[in-house]
Amino acid sequence: MRVPDAVLKCAVFVCSSDGANLKPEGTAFFVAVPIEGHPGMNATHLVTAAHVVDETKLRTMDGILVRLNLKGGGSEGIKLLDEPWFRHPTDPLVDIAVLGPWKLDTSENEVMAFPIAIAAATKEVIKARGIGVGDEVFFTGLFEHHAGRGRNLPIVRIGNIAMMNDEPIADKAGDLDAYLIEARSIGGLSGSPVFVRTGTTRGRGGEAPIVSEVIHWLGVVEGHWDGRLSSADAAQEAKRAAVNMGIATVTPASRVLEVINQPELVEARRRYAKALVGHTAPTLD
């Protein structure tokens, strides 16, 4: 499967800092969200897994930074200072953190924000497109062993939907609402955007097939399961008592939208639009 080059541009790296050097810790990505009351206007938000934010805070001495690629080559680290990360308003088990609105400079930065209004795999989209088990998925994010020296070099992993979120999945913290995908998630890929390709021909029953190729944003990588090695394997690999089972958990896009559309962020986008319109309005003579 050939992955669109544009997909790589939405992923950025969340970094810790010791005051002199950046260390990529996880993945984040940009989304463009319509602003209520301002047709045609979008606000940009940065999205990642909440545990990426929490763990990066513990490992940094100089604040969390986001590393963005520059169009002219190289990259820049943008310090997030004390800007608040928004979590799910009612369910603490939703492993999502959202920052914004963010004034994304696409003239200097080689990044993009994908439009959730047309890209998100909501429950309605999943039903209409017949998205389900076996559909091909891919995600892009940080490979911590080769993040790129001067620029972000995100990798792509490809798999398929192994299980839909028909019932909660038992986790150490509680019951999670998540998809399972047959794809190996490793450290650094938490917070990566997951996309599903619906294929070229769709149709159920006697319905006429839909002939097209559409990519939807399915959700966000949360983690994976480890399986225990057999006693023989463990003896040969004493340093590693478990092995990645190759099944990753993905927080559904619909849960991310619940974070993005909470009243505080809706109002923040309105304020952002008001300030932007006021800044660009003509001056009376």
Q: What digits encode the pLDDT tens for the residues 74-123?
A: 999 999 876 789 999 999 999 999 998 988 888 899 999 989 988 899 99
**Angle, vertex CA 123, rays to CA 192 and CA 27, nearest 5:** 5
Q: Kindly list the structural domains of the chain, giving each domain's residue range(s) and its CATH number in brackets, ordered by start.
A: 5-280 (2.40.10.10)
Q: β-strand 75-79 against 169-170: which pairing, if any?
A: unpaired
> How far is the C-alpha of 211 from the C-alpha of 201, rounded, in Å?
5
- For residue 68, what pLDDT is reported? 96
- For residue 234, what pLDDT is reported? 45
- For residue 184, what pLDDT is reported? 63
Residue for token pair 């994976």: 224
In the 8-state DSSP scheme, what is residue 269? Answer: H
Local mean pLDDT, 10-residue blocks, the chain (285 residues): 83 89 93 92 95 90 89 91 87 94 88 90 93 94 91 94 92 86 79 87 53 82 62 48 72 97 95 78 50
**Angle, vertex CA 42, rays to CA 63 and CA 114, nearest 5:** 75
Give 3-state DSSP helix, strand, coil % of the chain, rounded to 5. 20, 40, 40
> How far is the C-alpha of 262 from the C-alpha of 84, rounded, in Å?
14
- For residue 203, what pLDDT is reported? 54
What is the residue-averaged pLDDT of the chain?
85
> How far is the C-alpha of 9 from the C-alpha of 68, rounded, in Å?
9
